[in-house]
Structure formats: C-alpha cells, structure tokens
Structure 1
C-alpha cells in the first residue's frame, strides 16, 4: 500500500508539472515577522466574501501588542490607515523584487508613529495612504515595526502578512518562501458537485454527492458510478486544508481534474492580484454560497473568467459525456506542502426525456456589452460584468415609503455575481425640483443588505453604478446625520478624562465625511471599524477652555454641525 501511495504521489507531481510551469522563490530570505511559532488562522487563497485571502493570518495567541518585525532588509514604502480593510498597515519594499505587508497593527514604532501623525495633520485626514521614498525609513531584517493588533476589518487579534512582487503588485503565496510551518496533514474533502453545462451555472442547483475516505487520502463518491442527464457537465468540490496541530479550516492550494486518466484543467493559488481578487466569485459556485450553502470550487473555467487561476491542458473543464460510456473522474487536491488527497468517481450519461423549462428574462452574455431599456428604468452591463451567460429578469413594483420617489426596479438576482459595475438609470414618479434632486440617492437592496450612491442627473433620469444586482429605488433623503457625544455634553469638565468620543449615525447608514476642529484647527479623531470616533488627549489639547466643532455629511449631502465647549 505504501508503494502504491508513493507511485500515486509521484504520478501526481509529474502531472501537475505538465500543467503548471516550474517556479522558484527565495528560501529563507524572509524571517517570521513575529517571535512566536507561526500558526495560521488563514492562508493564501482562502475563500472569503467577494475576495481571495491574499496572505497569511498569523495567530498572536489571542493577544494584541506583540512586537512585529521587518521580515528582511528594505525600506518602508507605504503606510495605510483606514477604518476597515487593513486598518493600520506597513509596506516594506525589499531589494530582491518583493514587498512585504503587515496589517491590522496597533501603534507603529515611535519614530514612524510621529511621522505618520504629522502627515495626518498636514492632510487633515486620519485616513491616509502614504507613499514614502527609500531614504525616509530604511529598515534592517528584524527591526521593530509596530505592535500587532485587531484594527480594520480584523475580527480577532492577529497579524495579516503578505508577500507581493513589487513590479505589478501581485500577491504571492507566502508558503512558497520556506517559512517554518509544520504541515503533514492532507486536505480534507467533503463533497463533489456536478453541473449541467448546457445551461447557465446561475440557473440551476448542482447535484451534490458526499465523499468518504476509502484508503488513506483517497475519497470515493456515493454512488461510485454517477448517472447524469446532461451531455455536457462540469465539477466542483467542497474542500479545506489544515496544518499540523491546527483545526482551522484553511484554503486548499491546488486541484487538478483528470478524465479517463487524462489531465483536463487545474487551478493553483500561487499568484493573485488585488485587481483580480473579486474573481473568486467565478471560481466558486456563487449562487449556492450566496443562498446560504457551502463554498464549492469549480474545476472549470467560466467563459467570462479570463487570465485567472486556471491552467488548461485539454479544454476548460466542461466535459462531453454524450457517448454514454462510463468515464473515470479523478480530482487531485494538494496543499502547498505537497500533501495530496484524491476524489475518485465515475460518471455515465443517460438521456432524460424531461425538458428543462425556459428561463424568463433577457439573455446576457459574458464579454459582450448589452442592456435593457424600459420606460422608466434602464440598465447596462459592460463586457467584463458577467462570468457566465444568464437570463436577467426585470420587474417593477410599487413602494409604500414616503421617502422613495420612484418605483422599485428589480434587476436580476443578487446571486448573479457582477465583476464590473452595472449602470442603472431610473426616472422618478414625479418631476423633482433642483433642491430635491440634490438630495436624491439611489438605493440598492437585497434581503437585509443595502447600499446607496449619489446619483447623476441627465434631464429626468438619475443614474448610478453598483457591483451587485437586486432591487433599486430613488430615495429623497432630507434627514441629516445624528451626532451623539459619548461621556460629555456642552460645558463638561474633562480635566480628568483621557479622551473624547462620539458617534455619527444616519438614516441610510452612509456617512460621507466627518470633520472635527478644536479651537478652529483640525483635530485627529480615529474611526477604527467605522463605529465611534476617538481622540486621545495629547499635546494638541492643553489645559484650559476649548471649543470642539463636529461636522458630519451623509451621501445625499445633508449636513449636521455641533459645537461643544469643555474644560480640560
């Protein structure tokens, strides 16, 4: 059995080498950015909402403020501070052609912290993306950069760490650089999905088959021979990976589809650009996931997903089984350490007499510009909007909200992923005054999710762009944001306080801008995770009488201004 397993592994390695060209990366050049053993909460290529995970999430023992160190010589080339996303992040450019990124940080080292604070005051903005020249902050391997944290889009303390090719800013899987991460655990396989590729993947529910470990890391389907009623099929898998000593469900590295012992197509998570990270929605069964199902990773390349993570050997992964013969299916799944698991199955086509019902709506195609024009609603999809052909149905319905000044226009469904934005144009139910037009936004909603965009007017048509399909309406928003101080009121004595805190809320939950001034000068409030605004008392607010002004503006342009006097 051990000899057979070894032969299968060697066979697999040779097979993958035929599909993916060999690549080498510097081993041992980068050190661990922490001083504790690397244990991963997330890995490169892991599946996340609307994006691939683009680096390592390194555990920090559920603590914040562990020291973070430069992984190699170089210079700090960028600093990012934002309420979501990376939170507080440092980018280091290295002389070997790579850039490392350290995110969700707390305080930077003292010199860098002071420099960044000065830049924020010069720009009157806490949120910044700063680009630095090589002479400002050179670093040596092992230099202290910052304390680890939980800022931005982080949901628990950890360090997000990336390696990118400096030229092109393309992320590379950090596993390929030889970090000391023990991993002798093969990927875990859960299910096989089969699709009818004579139809859109968004107009069907895949047939799911459980898989069970049979011998070592070989999994078999139940039943072992699957009967399909479509002459053209494709596959997807449910799978995850772990590392030695970890129970975290991380992402797999690569998978290869073989049919009748011949390689067809494969994907590998090794190089992904942030420009392409949204294409995860073409790699997964987006409809199944968006409706509460599991992540299913396609072993086929959708027609609108170009220059992605897939490599073809003989076709795009849509398999012709119309001959009625029994075809042997093998899907080999690997992690970045070379551990291998395999799904083995067989499929056979049997023609069904039942015809599929026709889909309602207009048929749209990937890589084609097209649109729909109605009397009071129009929408247009660009060449790179769709991943697969799909019928998009339009429906109009009445609304019962006094703030809504248009009908509700439903375009397609939220389970159809959009890569580039769709242009939506709507006419209101009545002629709006110029003042009303200036306070009108377009609102998208699907289920409990909403988003608003400021509209552009062309005559009586309001237009905006969104990256999701669903329902759209025009909302006349004349309600300004609400500013709520926390722990102080006008006239408060804050001589014993350590900070000022307030929050801003809005009826449509879209705050465009908040500006704070102390005694007529801009004052830096942080806004991590977009929840509350916090100013820690420092040299900018000495003892004495002070006046704090807060100005908040929403997406529609409504403004609230509040003034608070206090004693420090």
Structure 2
C-alpha cells in the first residue's frame, strides 16, 4: 500500500497479510473483476483517507522473512525517491558508531602493484569506538589504485546490522571521494551492482562499497570526487588515507592507514597479503568488449549480443564450452562468468543438437549453478536455435521441460468436510520452467486463490458472499508451467 501525505512524501507498507475491511473489499472486488490475484490499483483521490493512529493493515510473512513483519519505506512523492526513514524522528535510540570491517584495494591499471600483487587485495581492519586501522598500518602501492570498504551500522537495543549513510575519502587531507547514500532513485537501482564489488558479494558474501566510479556507473549519489576516485601512487612518497563513514544518526567512524607509494618503475615488491579471486578461465577465449558499444560474440553454435551500456566497464569477455553426458540438447556454454554483473539483458542464441519427441515448444535455455542445478532462463525456438534474454553471465545449456506441474492436495481428499475450516490450502510446484499460471473454479465460477510463492502454496479463503454454506461444492484447479505442461485437480468437498 502506498499512502500519500500532504507533506510531499509517501509511505509504503508492504508484505501485509490484509488491509482494513473497506480496503480488503475494494481490492477483492477488483481481483474478481479482473479474475487475477495480482492487481495494481489506483483508487481515486480521497477514496481512502487516514489520520495518525488509524489502522490500515496487518503485518504478514511474505518476502524473505521468517515471521510477520512490516516492510516500511518513506519516499519523496515527486519522483518516488526512497529516503532514510530515520530522518523523520521516530525516536529510535542510536549512539553507536558504524563498524568498518574490511578495506579493499583495487588496481587502476594493468601495471599497478598492491603489496606486490596485480589483483585486488582485501585487508581486515582492527579497532573500536569509531577508530579503525590496519595491521600492519601501511600498504605498498605502485601505480593507480582505488579503494573499497565493508562497513555496517549498529543501533542500540538490537543485534541487527544496518546500512551506512555516507562515505568520504581523504588522501593527505584532500577530499578525494564523497558518496551520499541517504536517498536514491529507483531508475538507478541496478547501478548499485557497479557501486559494490559484485564479485566479492557473489563469491564471498562480502558487501564492499567501492570508493571509485566505474565508467558506466551513473548513480547520482556521488559528490565532489577527484579522478573518479582513483589516485596515482607513483610518487615515491608516503600518503595518509582516511576513510570516514557515517550512519543516519550522524555517528561516524574513521579508518586510517598509510600508503607507501612506488615510483614510475614500479619498485614496490612484496608478497600479497590476501588471495584475490580468479577472474577469467585460463583456457577460455578472451575478447575485449568496450562498455559503450554493442558487442556481438559468435562461436561454436552460440551467439551473444550485449547492448551498448550493458557493461559497467570495458570487459575481457571469456567463453568456453563443455560437452556433458545427460539429457541436454546442446553443450554447456560458459558465457563469461557469474561474477561480472550486466546492466541490461544480453541476448543468447544456442544452436540445438536435436528436437525432443515432445516437440520444440518444450525446449528452453537453462542456467546451471555451481551445484549443477538448472534454472529456467526462457527461450523461443526458431530455425534450429533457441534464443532468450539473459540478465546475468554464467553457464547455460538447452534443456527440455516435458513434466507437468505437481499439485499436492494438502489434505483435501475427495468429499472432505471443510465446514470447520477457514480456507483451502494447496501446494503447487514445477520441476524446471516454473509456474506460469493457475486458475481455480468452485462450482464453475472463478475463485480467488492467493499465491504464496515463497512456500509454493495457493489458498482460497472461504467467502460466504460468493459460495453457499452448508452444501457440497466442486473445486476444479488447473496449473500450467512456462512450457505449457498442465495439471488438473478436481475435488468435491462440503462447506
């Protein structure tokens, strides 16, 4: 629910179980009118009004949660920009300073050395009460480099960890980088993948804020930065670096360290202090892809088309293929790697080895994770190949889905007496392509089944305004997956 306030702000209440009776009735009438559980409604101005203290809904358990909760946001109505809710005086005690957990150092060129290594290095920090350092307290850098930090905020009376509000970098007391995270635009959301170290997040579950700006990072939260946040350490001097982190309540923490700079000959040399992540497969083909133009790669029955500005920086694109035993209809293709994000979908076309007896309509492109599990990536078959838009790099192959969804009656046996129950709950699952649609009829009339995707459940709340109590009814449920395999469940019950 979006609630517009006369102050120019809107508040958002999500993951609710239900609304007030008046709003519930309004929503339900529209759901029945459109014969769809999912609806987006814009009530006329003044149709529903509330004042402070009024109940507008009840918390639910949808989303990534383990219990009832409220997903709450404050946004600027004009432009729908989310802002930090803590600035509105909710009276939450917070005098704890943020934790700065790690420092990352990134080479800005191929010739850069960081403690003797040409790859990103990650350092653990030490300290407390807002003062953090490295051990040892200096880093040796030759060439251009940028920094990143992993930081979390704390609050009183809770063990939760929160996001930070701003980051500033000072090199020799000169302001070098400034990032204000107190608000952002939804149109810029995906650029967060360029702000963070996406590779560290996927591989190590580390959330690292970069304090430099990639060429195609268009976030508007960066303020007053020098040289895109990079610094040329080919000076032969020692530099003092301070990184200041603030939370939404104004509490601040500082990470201080020294950089011993090399000279133009790259004289710095010492063993790396942390293992860097692998970037590209040693046996893969490598193609240079500039970020600001359309890139097309074709090899071994595969074509990848990457739109202009889909990449955040010029990419050394890698490709390899493997023929595996199994029920696939093509080799497994490694399209670069899953550690590099893309801003726009790339188009992937794969030549098919053969068509299954069930027909080409059952073919699909599947992503394969590190554990060999398949995930549906879509695809349309034409002229011997299947094409899909993919939102991430990784391993892909062609598979077929010929298995219909599974409908588990969940205790709803034939002629079951449901008169003492409030709802019908049925579990629906699919083995590969996923649920595309479901439709439930009770006594031949469309019935509103809500979909709890997290738990693979659909449920119908008995509604005496739409079905008659104290009599026998017939449920007819149809579930279809994304390759048009269909299952049906028919049950008579008493309610």
Verify same fold: TM over 0.5.
yes
Contact 1:453 1:464 in 2 (8 A): yes
Give the Cα–Cα distance (whole angstroms) in 2 for the partners of residues 306 and 445 of structure 1.
31
Q: Cα offset for 1:437? A: 1.8
Secondary structure in 2 aligned to 1:391?
strand
Give the Cα–Cα distance (whole angstroms) in 2 for the partners of residues 110 and 357 of structure 1.
55
Secondary structure in 1 aligned to 2:487?
strand
Could you tell me which residue of structure 2 aligns to residue 39 of structure 1? none
Could you tell me which residue of structure 2 aligns to residue 565 of structure 1? 492
Q: Cα offset for 1:431? A: 5.5
Kindly indicate whether residue 236 of structure 2 is the aligned counterpart of residue 313 of structure 1: no
Matched ranges for 1:481-492 at <5 A: 481-492=405-416
Aligned match for 1:210, one of 120, 124, 135: 124
Contact 1:265 1:315 in 2 (8 A): no
Matched ranges for 1:85-124 at <5 A: 90-124=1-35
Contact 1:483 1:505 in 2 (8 A): yes
Unaligned 5+ runs, structure 1: 1-89
Q: Cα offset for 1:546? A: 1.4
CA RMSD of aligned residues (A): 2.4
Matched ranges for 1:355-374 at <5 A: 361-374=286-299
Give the Cα–Cα distance (whole angstroms) in 2 for the partners of residues 447 and 559 of structure 1.
30
Give the Cα–Cα distance (whole angstroms) in 2 for the partners of residues 150 and 477 of structure 1.
31
Secondary structure in 2 aligned to 1:176?
helix
Q: Cα offset for 1:530? A: 4.7
Contact 1:436 1:476 in 2 (8 A): no
Residue deviations 1:314-350 (CA, integer Å, cap 9, x gap): 2211111112211111101111211111111111233
Could you tell me which residue of structure 2 aligns to residue 543 of structure 1? 470
Give the Cα–Cα distance (whole angstroms) in 2 for the partners of residues 127 and 317 of structure 1.
44
Residue deviations 1:38-74 (CA, integer Å, cap 9, x gap): xxxxxxxxxxxxxxxxxxxxxxxxxxxxxxxxxxxxx
Give the Cα–Cα distance (whole angstroms) in 2 for the partners of residues 286 and 537 of structure 1.
46
Unaligned 5+ runs, structure 2: 270-277
Aligned match for 2:139, one of 196, 202, 226: 226
Change (3 A) 1:333 1:256: same
Kindly indicate whether residue 51 of structure 2 is the aligned counterpart of residue 128 of structure 1: no
Could you tell me which residue of structure 1 aligns to residue 87 of structure 2? 176
Q: Cα offset for 1:432? A: 6.6
Aligned match for 1:429, one of 353, 356, 377: 353
Q: Cα offset for 1:353? A: 8.7
Aligned match for 1:378, one of 288, 291, 303: 303
Secondary structure in 1 aligned to 2:127?
strand
Could you tell me which residue of structure 2 aligns to residue 256 of structure 1? 168
Give the Cα–Cα distance (whole angstroms) in 2 for the partners of residues 524 and 530 of structure 1.
18
Q: Cα offset for 1:290? A: 0.8
Kindly indicate whether residue 385 of structure 2 is the aligned counterpart of residue 472 of structure 1: no
Could you tell me which residue of structure 1 aligns to residue 367 of structure 2? 444
Q: Cα offset for 1:158? A: 2.1
Which consecutive segments of 4 or more residues in structure 1 shift more than 4 A?
356-360
Change (3 A) 1:467 1:236: same
Kindly indicate whether residue 481 of structure 2 is the aligned counterpart of residue 523 of structure 1: no
Give the Cα–Cα distance (whole angstroms) in 2 for the partners of residues 294 and 108 of structure 1.
37
Residue deviations 1:358-415 (CA, integer Å, cap 9, x gap): 975112232322120124101111123222332221111113222x212211101111
Provide the aligned length of Structure 1 versus Structure 2. 473
Q: Cα offset for 1:94? A: 1.8
- Give the TM-score normalised by the residue count of structure 2: 0.90
Secondary structure in 2 aligned to 1:291?
helix
Give the Cα–Cα distance (whole angstroms) in 2 for the partners of residues 188 and 357 of structure 1.
29
Kindly indicate whether residue 471 of structure 2 is the aligned counterpart of residue 532 of structure 1: no
Contact 1:100 1:164 in 2 (8 A): yes
Residue deviations 1:118-167 (CA, integer Å, cap 9, x gap): 11111111122212221321222332101223223333332221111222
Give the Cα–Cα distance (whole angstroms) in 1 for the partners of residues 432 and 83 of structure 2.
39
Secondary structure in 1 aligned to 2:56?
strand
Secondary structure in 2 aligned to 1:338?
coil
Aligned match for 2:241, one of 312, 329, 337: 329
Could you tell me which residue of structure 2 aligns to residue 495 of structure 1? 419
Aligned match for 2:203, one of 274, 287, 291: 291
Q: Cα offset for 1:283? A: 1.7
Q: Cα offset for 1:96? A: 2.4
Contact 2:436 2:482 in 1 (8 A): yes
Kindly indicate whether residue 118 of structure 2 is the aligned counterpart of residue 195 of structure 1: no
Residue deviations 1:412-466 (CA, integer Å, cap 9, x gap): 1111112211110111013578x62222111112224643133223422211111
Give the Cα–Cα distance (whole angstroms) in 1 for the partners of residues 224 and 350 of structure 2.
42
Kindly indicate whether residue 360 of structure 2 is the aligned counterpart of residue 453 of structure 1: no
Could you tell me which residue of structure 2 aligns to residue 4 of structure 1? none
Contact 1:200 1:389 in 2 (8 A): no
Give the Cα–Cα distance (whole angstroms) in 1 for the partners of residues 43 and 423 of structure 2.
31
Q: Cα offset for 1:535? A: 1.5
Give the Cα–Cα distance (whole angstroms) in 1 for the partners of residues 391 and 111 of structure 2.
20
Give the Cα–Cα distance (whole angstroms) in 1 for the partners of residues 118 and 487 of structure 2.
49
Give the Cα–Cα distance (whole angstroms) in 1 for the partners of residues 248 and 374 of structure 2.
38
Give the Cα–Cα distance (whole angstroms) in 1 for the partners of residues 13 and 428 of structure 2.
30
